[in-house]
């Protein structure tokens, strides 16, 4: 069944870069309250636990004074390392007067957080997602709140056969689910591929790519456990020998557990064609968001069912195409087990 | 105290006939999600558990294709027996790919469901309620959602002394509660009778029956455990030897547990007078619903109190008129005990 | 950590006097439903448990007939002692047909309730708060609902160092938190004093007292465990030998647990200057309420954090100024322990 927790010694996306600035940003991540801001000094994002060590007041209710947060209740002044430097009502600042600072770094438009053992936080573990900020690609993005556990979306994103049904009329067409799928596993990565040859061009592709008729469509879903996905999409007219007419897309999905069975769904979508066409960008912004909202709605509908049965989940039946999603569960469970032993 | 569950080897009303058609109807019944629709083939209503065996997606989010439901997530096609006949992403359909179909039948305007052991589902157990569709009677009906456990309404309906107070100004008049009551028990039926002679005609009767002054009023509440009630009501001018001026009503109450402490209250109300008078029908529709909403409001007010004390319910004091309601509790408890043993 | 319950053998404020009249008032107090009304006979307020002994119907849904409450469900008639005097459906009224009447008395504009052992209810335990109705003082008042446990507000009110930060721009000014504080304890009273000499006059004082520039400001917070506070405030121009220009205020705070982690915050605020100035009264009404709402908002923000961690509260760090609040916790814990033993 679904994992009941999420591994902590892993990188998760905490925010889009553009969200973190000089206004204190309050966000629950992995069942912890977190406050985020960007330092004046070096323009770097910072994340502290969002509760003052004194009386648990959310620090996000305070104010930013240069690169310090002043708690809005009793004025304790924390530096960006989380150490108190001033307590207004007394001269002595005890060393215990500090809050957790989470390892954080920013890369290619995303802010990554590590909520486990800081000594294990290795930035090189984060996979390549340079397309988001690459000038050869045009990107749109968004954040969808989801009232469902993260794993429901993780499995949705690894499951390419729902396109025909859940996304009928936009990116789904008939016969998709019948196309053969391969799944391969490599370390903590799951890769599910469904190449489709000589298939109908879906309406949304026609509108944004300008392709009509039959196409060869590539679709590879990569999951980097426990929370990050890249869907590699390509389309070109069937039989067209000219590869220059091939259109590529990279959909980046960051699935971060929030509080209880709620989740933040950060998404980005980059394309390598018509990158200066504002109208296409507008179509992508709304069209892609509409599709991803269908995934959120499906996850929420399932959440409502399964949470009604907890702790006795109803029996599920796995299909052949579930090899990818099931491997995703196994990877997360392994990470959880490793944390328990360690 | 109130039963903490409801017996499953019993018939419950799932819907009014008119609610079940070619649109998938999603309804929680006895803490299970159910999807209902009407088959094209034979016009019969069907009920399946409302979660796909694959990933618990509510089937009601899918679509009806002839007499099949196609799951809206991955397109699994279920026939009206609940057996999958097609899985788009693979050719083999395993026998385990099926969902529970609940015994269901339709009679006299109501759709009855059996959520326990199908082998025990015997349609002859459902009591007579032919008045609903009898052309000699005129019927109005409705469905009230209730945020309270079903038993609060079961007991309300067996308790005829609340009319004077809860329904003052509509069907209640002074001195009702003082009239003698008899209760008799027969198998799983409770019958509470309060004949009232030479009593004021309540305002609502005057408006719809055209009777004024003093009346002889008959009121018999029948409870068919665990969920079905008929209230037999009659009125005629006191001392009038002509029985043709007697007006009769049958109020049918179906109290079906939904999810947690919420309940569906399906009601019908048939009369044998002025059956073609549209104005009276309109008055009944709104006037009866207004009265039944008062019963719902009382049940909800009590639910708010008792659920605040759970699991230690405050002590209750039973009155003599509670013989009927208390027997109702005993019958339901006996049914629950029998299921545990069985 | 915070007390998990509240002592019952204590007086709590149930209402402002003006709230209790001839309309049944429904209010949860210490996790019990209570109904309040004022007797015609002697103009005295009365409190009964707000659930009929018969079927737990809230009596507040019934109606007042002279000094009796008639239950709105089955018409049981309770006198103001809580004893049933009439049951419409039967002639015998059993002695057990009664509801709890809580000791209650009214003094200086407040209605006090005792929800524990009635034999221990001693009115002399309630501290002096005569300013509320003293004609030499002008009073404003209000009731704020709070979605947080009572103790969070109890500690806020004993903590004078938050003024500078939480109430910046109204009654807070710089350097307040740096002024020395003394705390002394006497029986079940905690007294925290922060006299401030030669300090900026806060904007709200200037507007309502007409004082500008530097002032000597007195601030004494008294807590009468477990739920009552008086904040004694005074201000006069620094170095002014004329004591007639001194302005005094008494802020009365009554913090009564409601249901779960919600609380009623009854407040009064009396001043001994410009008592006939309607404009100042208006300013006080809105200005004081705005300040107290900030205290409520801070308590609610903390409640949201700590209730997310229950039962494992995050570690707190106590400061020197917390001597008063910590003593408040100890007093309440002692009261709870005494009730357990007794």
Give the pLDDT band of residue B169 (cuts 50, 70, 90).
confident
Residues A212/A201, Cβ–Cβ less than 8 Å = yes
Checking if the pLDDT of B342 tops 80, the result is no
Checking if the pLDDT of A341 tops 80, the result is no
Residues of B whose CB is below 8 A from A314? 51, 56
- Calculate the alpha carbon distances from A52 to A78, A97, B42, C107 in Å: 9, 9, 67, 40
Task: Check residue B170 and give its pLDDT.
Answer: 84
Q: Collapsing DSSP states into helix, strand and coil, what is residue A324?
A: helix
Provide the CA C337 distance to its chain's centre, in angstroms: 23
Which DSSP string do the residues of C266-291 spell out, in sequence order?
A: EEEEEESSSTT-HHHHHHHHHHHHHH
Give the pLDDT band of residue C171 (cuts 50, 70, 90).
confident
Residues A22/A39, Cβ–Cβ less than 8 Å = no
- Which stretches within chain A are classed as H helix? 150-157, 163-166, 203-209, 278-309, 323-341
Query: What are the residues whose beta carbons fall under 8 Å from the beta carbon of A15, sequence distance 6 or more?
Result: A25, A27, A36, A45, A110, A111, A266
CATH topology classification for A17-124: Rieske Iron-sulfur Protein (2.102.10)
The residue of chain A nearest to residue B70, with distances taken between CA atoms, is A165
Task: Check residue B113 and give its pLDDT.
Answer: 98
What is the CATH code for B11-121? 2.102.10.10
Closest CA to B324 of B230, B222, B234: B222
What is the CATH code for A130-341? 3.90.380.10
Checking if the pLDDT of B276 tops 80, the result is yes
Checking if the pLDDT of B341 tops 80, the result is no
Looking at CA atoms only, how far is residue A319 from chain B in angstroms? 7
Give the pLDDT band of residue A94 (cuts 50, 70, 90).
very high
The residue of chain A nearest to residue B86, with distances taken between CA atoms, is A178
Residues A244/A272, Cβ–Cβ less than 8 Å = no
Closest CA to B58 of B90, B88, B21, B25: B25
Residues of B whose CB is below 8 A from A164? 75, 88
- Which stretches within chain B are classed as H helix? 150-157, 163-166, 203-209, 278-309, 323-341
The answer to whether the Cβ–Cβ distance between C301 and A58 falls below 8 Å is yes
ipTM computed for the complex: 0.94
Choose from B319, B320, B323, B328 for mutation: most chain C CBs within 10 A: B319
- Three-class secondary structure assignment of C2-15: CCCCCCCCCEEEEE
Q: DSSP state, B247?
A: E
Mean pLDDT, rounded, for C178-200: 93
| CA angle, B32 then B36 then B38, to 5° | 160
**Considering CB atoms only, which of C56, C75, C88 is closest to B316?**
C56
Q: DSSP state, A220?
A: E
Farthest-apart Cα atoms in chain C, separation: 78
Give the pLDDT band of residue B192 (cuts 50, 70, 90).
very high
Task: Check residue B253 and give its pLDDT.
Answer: 98
The residue of chain B nearest to residue A168, with distances taken between CA atoms, is B72
More confident residue, A174 or B335: B335
Closest CA to A275 of A195, A212, A209, A205: A209
Residues of B whose CB is below 8 A from C51? 305, 314
Looking at CA atoms only, how far is residue B214 from chain C in angstroms? 21
The residue of chain A nearest to residue B91, with distances taken between CA atoms, is A178
Looking at CA atoms only, how far is residue B103 from chain A in angstroms? 20
Mean pLDDT, rounded, for B114-138: 97
Place of tokens 């009591």: B127
Looking at CA atoms only, how far is residue A58 from chain C in angstroms? 7
Look up the CATH superfamily of C21-104: Rieske [2Fe-2S] iron-sulphur domain (2.102.10.10)
Mean pLDDT, rounded, for C254-262: 97
Q: DSSP state, C326?
A: H
Looking at CA atoms only, how far is residue A162 from chain B in angstroms? 5
> Whole-model pTM?
0.95
pLDDT tens digits for range C77-122: 999 999 999 999 999 999 999 999 999 999 999 999 999 999 999 9
Q: Which residues of A touch C (CB under 8 A)?
A: 31, 33, 50-51, 53-58, 61-62, 70-75, 87-90, 94, 96-97, 259
The residue of chain C nearest to residue B194, with distances taken between CA atoms, is C89
- For the beta carbon of residue C133, count every other beta carbon within 10 angstroms: 15
Checking if the pLDDT of C24 tops 80, the result is yes
Closest CA to A304 of B26, B68, B37: B26
pLDDT tens digits for range C288-317: 999 999 999 999 999 999 999 988 889 999
Place of tokens 């160092």: C161
Percent of chain A clearing pLDDT 90 (strictly above): 87
How many Å from the N-terminal Cα to the C-terminal Cα in chain A?
Answer: 23
The answer to whether the Cβ–Cβ distance between A305 and B74 falls below 8 Å is no
Task: Check residue C342 and give its pLDDT.
Answer: 62
Give the pLDDT band of residue A342 (cuts 50, 70, 90).
low
Task: Check residue B152 and give its pLDDT.
Answer: 97
Give the pLDDT band of residue C282 (cuts 50, 70, 90).
very high
Checking if the pLDDT of B282 tops 90, the result is yes
- Three-class secondary structure assignment of C181-221: CEEEEECCEEEEECCEEEEECCHHHHHHHCCCCEEEEEEEE
pLDDT tens digits for range A276-326: 999 999 999 999 999 999 999 999 999 999 999 988 889 999 999 999 999
Mean pLDDT, rounded, for C34-62: 98
Task: Check residue B323 and give its pLDDT.
Answer: 95
Q: Collapsing DSSP states into helix, strand and coil, what is residue C301?
A: helix
Mean pLDDT, rounded, for A9-29: 98
Q: Domain segments of chain C: what residues?
A: 21-104, 130-341
Q: Are strands A63-65 and B77-78 parallel, antiparallel or unpaired?
A: unpaired
**C123 CB-side CA count, 13 A:** 9
Provide the CA C283 distance to its chain's centre, in angstroms: 22
Q: DSSP state, A218?
A: E
């Amino acid at each position: 069944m679904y994992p009941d927790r999420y591994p902590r010694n892993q990188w998760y996306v905490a925010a889009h870069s553009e969200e973190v600035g000089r206004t204190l940003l309050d966000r629950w991540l992995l069942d912890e309250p977190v406050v985020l801001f960007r330092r004046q000094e070096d323009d770097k994002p910072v994340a502290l636990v969002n509760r003052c060590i004194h009386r648990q007041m959310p620090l996000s209710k305070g104010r930013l004074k240069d690169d310090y947060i002043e708690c809005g209740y009793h004025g304790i002044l924390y530096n960006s390392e989380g150490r108190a430097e001033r307590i207004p009502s007394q001269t002595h600042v005890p060393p215990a007067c500090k809050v957790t600072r989470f390892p954080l770094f920013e890369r290619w438009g995303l802010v990554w957080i590590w909520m486990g053992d800081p000594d294990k936080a290795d930035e090189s573990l984060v996979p390549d997602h340079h397309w988001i900020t690459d000038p050869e690609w045009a990107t749109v993005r968004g954040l969808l709140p989801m009232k469902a556990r993260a794993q429901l979306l993780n499995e949705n994103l690894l499951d390419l056969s729902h396109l025909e049904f859940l996304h009928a009329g936009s990116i789904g067409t008939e016969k998709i689910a019948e196309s053969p799928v391969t799944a391969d596993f490599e370390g903590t990565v799951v890769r599910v591929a469904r190449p489709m040859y000589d298939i109908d061009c879906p309406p949304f592709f026609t509108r944004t790519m300008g392709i009509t008729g039959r196409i060869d469509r590539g679709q590879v879903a990569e999951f980097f456990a426990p929370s990050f996905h890249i869907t590699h999409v390509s389309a070109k007219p069937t039989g067209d020998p000219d590869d220059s007419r091939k259109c590529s897309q990279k959909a980046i999905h960051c699935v971060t557990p929030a509080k209880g069975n709620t989740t933040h769904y950060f998404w980005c979508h980059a394309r390598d064609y018509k990158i200066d066409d504002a109208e296409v960008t507008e179509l992508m912004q709304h069209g892609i968001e509409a599709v991803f909202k269908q995934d959120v709605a499906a996850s929420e509908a399932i959440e409502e069912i399964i949470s009604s049965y907890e702790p006795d989940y109803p029996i599920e039946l796995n299909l052949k195409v579930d090899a990818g999603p099931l491997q995703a569960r196994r990877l997360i469970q392994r990470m959880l087990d490793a944390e328990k032993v360690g």
